[in-house]
A and B are shown apart, each in its own frame.
Chain A
Amino acid sequence: MTGAGTWSLGESDYNRISEHLTELLRESDARSAMVVDRTGQLLANAGEALSFDATVFASLTAADFSANDQLAKMIGEPEFASLFHQGKKESMYLADVGRRLILVVLFDQRTTVGLVRLRVKQTVEDLSKLVVEMFNRPPTDKDAAKGGLLEGADDEIDKLFGD
């Protein structure tokens, strides 16, 4: 491979991720949850409306995880599979999902880190199975017929940039 490549998130996978997040929130009493990819792009979120810029938040969580991965290696650990940041009122719990995605859970005093950690474990297992499926799925005939989303769109791209 010469570059980072492309991947796409279909609506059915998005819906399944959202369902897992909703279930996690119901069982853990956490406020909100999101799934971010390792490059910092937000895939899905559920729960209370976020009062901050979710795109920026997603990029920072990926950077947080990457920096901690390197710290883990330096002390002889293959990785830190989860991170916990404790605040006075608000806290967050981050967990690796199949080395591809990061699950981020925001919670307050209505629940405990113990309960969040316990419920996250199940969600990580469910999402990991989904990740394996998503990234190993062979392209369907429909995909092959459709080609890339922007196939043949050179003129439109030129127009977008005023050329």
Chain B
Amino acid sequence: MSMINYASREINCKLVYYGPGLGGKTTNLEHVYGKVSPDKRGKMVSLATESERTLFFDFLPVDLGTIRGFKTRFHLYTVPGQVYYNASRKLILKGVDGVVFVADSQMDRMEANVESMQNLYDNMAEYGYDVTKIPFLIQYNKRDLPNAASIPELQQQLNPGWEVTEARKQRNAPDPNNEGEWLVTQIDGTWVERAPFVESIAVNGDGVFETLRHVAKLVLKTLS
């Protein structure tokens, strides 16, 4: 739930990085932490097990700039990816303003991706939130690995789209960030919308800031 604080002149928004275990969610935050100057970010906190698996969440506050005299402060959270930790994963989604789904592109992680995506939809629905109506972006991570699935394959499995019922949205919208892809189009007479996506190699930082900027912009536009 975004909060506009007129006393401190800040706009605070909550972003959650979701996805299967070992997909790169924490790596995304670590890269942001390492690259943003210390005066623009807070301390990064990781509630992790001794083997560095996320137990509850990672948290990193980042200032992305000033707009109309208000600091835009984003609180980045990751969830624990392991199936076992669903109770704590659900808690982190409370009050979320934007979601990044970090998918593991490796072929043998497809099932884990699909299961995690289903889990996201289910957990969001329990709060009365609808993933198709909020700022939502998919990051296809680990694009450098030899066993990475192709983008059309990942799109088909994880981002098949949802029906567009609002008449004003029923028009072709090419994806400005991915040539040949679309965000809204007509398939067999039905208008379909897909979540935007970004390709990444989070361990090198490729696509990490592109993802953050993209979803942060979507969140701010919901306030405009």
Contact = CB atoms under 8 A, between A and B. Distances in A.
B224 A59 contact: no
A157 B11 CA distance: 13
Given A39-B14, A53-B43, A70-B87, A7 B67 contact: no
A70 to B, nearest CB: 6
Contacts of A76: none
A150 B222 CA distance: 9
A150 B5 contact: no
* A14, A39, A66, most chain B CB atoms within 10 A: A39
Nearest to A4: B1
Contacts of B164: none
A160 B219 CA distance: 13
Interface stretch (A20-28, A40-48, A88-96, A113-121): A40-48
Interface string A127-163: 0000000000000000000001111111011101111
Contact of B4 (A9, A44, A60): A9
Interface residues on B, range: 35 or more
B147 interface: no
B91 interface: yes
Given A63-B57, A148-B224, A154-B224, A38 B67 contact: no
Given A2-B133, A70-B91, A160-B72, A152 B3 contact: no
Nearest to B98: A3
A131 to B, nearest CB: 14
Interface in B1-25: 1-7, 11-12, 14
B42 A3 contact: no
A121 to B, nearest CB: 26
B129 interface: yes
Contacts of A14: 5-7
Given A2-B130, A161-B213, A152 B6 contact: no
A5 B128 CA distance: 11
A10 interface: yes
Contacts of B1: 4-7, 37, 39
B91 A66 contact: yes
A9 B87 CA distance: 30
A153 B72 contact: no
A68 B213 CA distance: 34
Interface of B: 1-7, 11-12, 14, 42-43, 45, 47, 56-57, 59, 61, 64-65, 67-68, 70, 72, 75, 77, 87-88, 91-92, 94-97, 127-130, 133-134, 213, 216-217, 220-224
